[in-house]
């Protein structure tokens, strides 16, 4: 049973296209994240959602728009794809952010989506 799943696993597309990556977690976690990992394996947070509410929005082009229809899903839509968007995108989730939740900070990662923009 996959805890954090992402689709698609691979995405090859042309520059200028619009694409979406979907993420779902079945752990009952309150918080979900999107990370970008570049070719040098540097992992950088892009967004964080807590109970469907945007919490962290790092310096990311506004071509990237996260959408959380419910707390188990956090999708990433990318408009007008550019060559520099090629990377591996990871979704992750964690139990919660507040002290009341016991502050469970371990993050559980999905398998990644390998995006190649041609």
Partner 1 sequence: SQQGEEDPQALSIQEGENATMNCSYKTSINNLQWYRQNSGRGLVHLILIRSNEREKHSGRLRVTLDTSKKSSSLLITASRAADTASYFCATASGGGSARQLTFGSGTQLTVLP
Interacting residues toward partner 1 by CB under 8 A: 4, 35, 40-45, 48, 50, 55-56, 90, 92, 97-98, 105-112
Whether residue 44 contacts residue 35, with contact meaning beta carbons closer than 8 Å, is answered with: yes
Neighbours of 30 (CB within 10 A): 19
State the nearest-atom distance from the C-beta of 92 to partner 1, in Å. 8
State the nearest-atom distance from the C-beta of 17 to partner 1, in Å. 24
Pick the closer one to partner 1 by CB: 55 or 118.
55
Specify the residue for token string 């016991």.
102
State the nearest-atom distance from the C-beta of 24 to partner 1, in Å. 14
Pick the closer one to partner 1 by CB: 61 or 98.
98
Pick the closer one to partner 1 by CB: 14 or 106.
106
In Å, how far from its chain's centre is CA 94? 13
In eight-state DSSP terms, residue 100 is G
State the nearest-atom distance from the C-beta of 93 to partner 1, in Å. 11
Closest CA to 35 of 6, 71, 3: 6
Pick the closer one to partner 1 by CB: 16 or 98.
98
Question: What does the alpha-carbon distance between residue 14 and residue 98 come to, in Å, rounded to a whole number?
Answer: 41
């Amino acid at each position: 049973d996959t805890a954090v799943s992402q689709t698609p696993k691979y995405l090859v597309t042309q520059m200028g296209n619009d694409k979406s990556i979907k993420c779902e977690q079945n752990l009952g976690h309150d918080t979900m994240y999107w990370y970008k990992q570049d070719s040098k394996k540097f992992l950088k947070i892009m967004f964080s959602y807590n109970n469907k509410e945007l919490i962290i929005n790092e310096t990311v082009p506004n071509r990237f728009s996260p959408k959380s229809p419910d707390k188990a899903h956090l999708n990433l839509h990318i408009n007008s794809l550019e060559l520099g968007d090629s990377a591996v995108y990871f979704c992750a989730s964690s139990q919660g952010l507040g002290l009341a939740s016991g502050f469970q900070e371990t993050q559980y990662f999905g398998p990644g989506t390998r995006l190649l923009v041609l």
